[in-house]
Amino acid sequence: MKQETPVVWPSAGVSEVPYRIYSDPSIFEQEMMRIFEGESWSYVGLAAEIPEAGDYLVTMIGRRSVVITRGPDGAVHGFANRCAHRGVKLCRQHRGNARFFVCPYHQWSYDARGNLRGVPFIKGVKGKGGMPEDFDRASHDLPKLAVTERNGVIFASFAEPPPFESYLGETNLRYFDRVFDGRQLSLLGYSRQLIPGNWKLMFENIKDPYHASLLHVFLVTFGLFRADQESQVQMDDTGGHALLISRRGEQKKSDATSDIANLREDFVLSDKRLLDPVKEFPDDATVVMQTIWPNLIVQQQSNTLALRQIRPRSPGAFELAWTFFGYADDDEAMTTRRLRQANLMSSAGLVSADDSEVIKLAQDGVDQYPDHVGVVQMGGRGTENENHMVTETAVRAFYTHYRRVMGL
């Protein structure tokens, strides 16, 4: 049997990516520790999902289940979803309202902060049993998360990352605030899918505007995303976060479409209500896809607004958990528009289906050739911001940050 050797990054740098990082179990373990359990802010939910005191939701940071609660004082807390006693999963429901979190096994109970409040038979029964004299209840609280909230979006961490604002950087923060501008959000619903691919392939996909103008025949056919449109790719200083910003065009043939094998110029919608986008943000951008290290995609495609949370499961699989939202002050027509446009983006999306399918095919390929390397050289080998879409610069920037965090 071949000896397992540690991953060595190609000397070319981030313009090449070793396929091994998509399938190696030891790399995956390192990622969970260094990235998801390290100094990063993971998206965990919306304030609108837990509006009342006692509300809670269960979500994931990396592979770990966590509980996010709203305490009696209205503050948001987070803790590990496992009992301090025998490690049993505490919450079995995705959402709910509870004053105490009681373990089903021996009924240890915790409050909204994750503090241990009750241990049955702590003093024993009829003078028999019970916890040792020196058992200190206060030292068996649940592992607590750092929690931060910005304009209704909640992030949490097992570590103590820098303040969210400086974590995101100036440009990324500005675009984050463009969608989350302080208005009350309204929850429209969820869509969840288990994608048989490595979690990084999802980030690569969203950070790569080159593919969008080729693979997504639906988008290109209807002029929603095209290589000749005015656009920008912008990263933060670390390279971990990125923005793809673009503007809608026409349904017509041009230079930018001549390389597309399957363009359907003659595709006219039978019911035009499917695509009836209206301008709703002050700038002219009609698509802004923001990727926030390590687990979030913020999507504005015309009037569909969604958060896509990445939940790695194993080297070869991740869950993509979508949360669709609008604003509490949307009128009925706007809500309907958002719901109709969601046909393009979900686990059955007319556009996003291309991505989940291609990620599966990518995993099929890289799994079988771990010693080979991939090429990431569209638009050069650098990691600068760009004002066009024919580039993989944000993928290279992502791997620059990844290598730093992973020590690779």
Partner 1 sequence: MSLDPLEQRRLEELYAIYGELLDDGPLEDWPSLFTEECTYLVVPRDNFEQDLPLAIIRCESRGMLVDRVRSVQETIMFEPRYLRHQITNIRGTKRDDGGIDVIANYLVVEVLPEDLPKILSVGRYLDVVVEEAGELLFEEKWVIYDSVLVPNTIVYPL
The yes or no reply on residue 357 touching partner 1 (CB under 8 A) is: yes
259 binds, among partner 1, Fe ion, none (CB under 5 to 8 A by kind): none
The yes or no reply on residue 264 touching partner 1 (CB under 8 A) is: yes
The yes or no reply on residue 169 touching partner 1 (CB under 8 A) is: no
What Rg do the C-alpha atoms of the chain give, in angstroms? 23
The yes or no reply on residue 196 touching partner 1 (CB under 8 A) is: yes
Residue 375 and residue 373: Cα distance in Å, rounded? 7
The yes or no reply on residue 190 touching partner 1 (CB under 8 A) is: yes
| Out of 53, 187, 373, 390, the residue judged to bind partner 1 by CB under 8 A | 187
Q: Which stretch binds partner 1 (CB under 8 A): 63-71, 80-88, 239-247, 260-268?
A: 260-268
The yes or no reply on residue 360 touching partner 1 (CB under 8 A) is: yes
**Closer residue to partner 1 (CB): 32 or 188:** 188
205: tokens are 């996909």
**φ, ψ dihedrals at 389, nearest 5°:** -105, 0
> How many residues of this chain interact with Fe ion, rule: CB under 5 A?
2
User: What are the Cα distances from residue 103, in Å, to 110, 112, 113, 120, 288?
Assistant: 9, 14, 15, 11, 43
The yes or no reply on residue 251 touching partner 1 (CB under 8 A) is: no
The yes or no reply on residue 191 touching partner 1 (CB under 8 A) is: yes
Backbone dihedral region of 314: left (phi > 0), alpha (psi from -120 to 50 degrees) or beta? beta
The yes or no reply on residue 392 touching Fe ion (CB under 5 A) is: no
Binding mask 215-234 for partner 1 (x = CB under 8 A): x-xx--x-------------
293: tokens are 């290290």
| Out of 148, 343, 385, 400, the residue judged to bind partner 1 by CB under 8 A | 343
The yes or no reply on residue 164 touching partner 1 (CB under 8 A) is: no
The yes or no reply on residue 75 touching partner 1 (CB under 8 A) is: no
**Closer residue to partner 1 (CB): 221 or 300:** 221
Q: Which stretch binds Fe ion (CB under 5 A): 30-38, 115-123, 207-215, 342-350?
A: 207-215
Nearest by Cα to 102 from 267, 114, 94, 248 = 114
Residue 200 C-beta: closest distance to partner 1, Å: 17
| Out of 16, 55, 330, 355, the residue judged to bind Fe ion by CB under 5 A | 355
Q: Which stretch binds partner 1 (CB under 8 A): 7-15, 80-88, 170-178, 351-359?
A: 351-359
Footprint of Fe ion (CB under 5 A): 212, 355
Q: Which parts of this chain interact with partner 1 (CB under 8 A)?
A: 94-95, 187-196, 215, 217-218, 221, 262, 264, 267, 269-271, 273-274, 319, 324, 335, 339-340, 342-343, 346-350, 353-354, 356-358, 360-361, 364
